[in-house]
Amino acid sequence: MTARVTIQTQDFDVAAEIAALRAQDQRVGAVCSFIGTVRDRNDGQSVSTMELEHYPGMTEKSIEAMIDEAFQRFDIYAARVIHRVGLLQPLDQIVLVVVTSAHRGASFQACEFLMDYLKTQAPFWKKEQTPEGARWVDARVSDDAALAKWGIRSDNSAA
């Protein structure tokens, strides 16, 4: 069985990850995936590299809890999150979220729910290299509207 959460430095193979998740359950009628990549700009500045850090164990536990929440909220069969850490370049893949279900609606919703969580609540720390030098940036984008649609306050407590 494929792990639900993996934090890693190496790149991932999207097709292999989707195939592995689909192979686990013949009931699957829908697969929704999201792939995030590193941009070459942030807040109007050029970014040459990005370095992501996390606390091993804490980050995985946090994401596992949100996957559990996705299973409670949506009629899904499986979910997989891969998030890279370490030094990354523009265009590198950084995150993969894959969700399976019987029908597309649940997969789309659960995938968006998990991605909104990852962008706003997951414990990652980001350092960007810009022409002006290195700068630490809050890796968690505050998006109260994204959280509100799921009934989550910005402190990750249920509303």
Number of domains in the chain: 1
Mean pLDDT on 34-58: 90
Residue 106 pLDDT > 90? yes
The distance from CA 92 to its chain's CA centroid, rounded to whole angstroms, is 14
Residues 6+ apart with CB under 8 A from 11: 84, 92, 93
Residue 155 inside a domain? The answer is no
**CATH code, 96:** 3.90.1170.40
Between CA 148 and CA 158 the distance in angstroms is 10
Q: Is residue 135 part of a domain?
A: yes
Which pLDDT score, from 0 to 100, does residue 119 have?
A: 86
Q: With 0-12 CB in 10 A as exposed, 13-18 as middle and 19+ as buried, what is 14?
A: middle
In this structure, is residue 154 part of a structural domain?
no
Would you say residue 134 lies in a domain?
Answer: yes
DSSP E strands in the chain: the ranges are 5-8, 30-37, 41-42, 45-46, 49-54, 76-84, 86-88, 93-101, 124-130, 133-138
Q: Is the dihedral of CA 19, 20, 24, 30 positive or negative?
A: negative
Q: Higher-confidence residue: 159 or 67?
A: 67
Q: Is residue 22 part of a domain?
A: yes
Determine, yes or no, domain membership for 153. no
Residue 125 domain-assigned? yes
Average pLDDT over residues 89-105: 97
User: Is 25 among the domain residues?
Assistant: yes
**Domain with 13 in it:** 5-148
| % pLDDT > 70, the chain | 89
Instruction: Report the pLDDT value the prediction gives residue 19, as an integer from 0 to 100.
Output: 95
Cβ-based neighbour number of residue 32 at 10 Å: 22
- What is the pLDDT confidence band of residue 24, given thresholds at 50, 70 and 90? confident
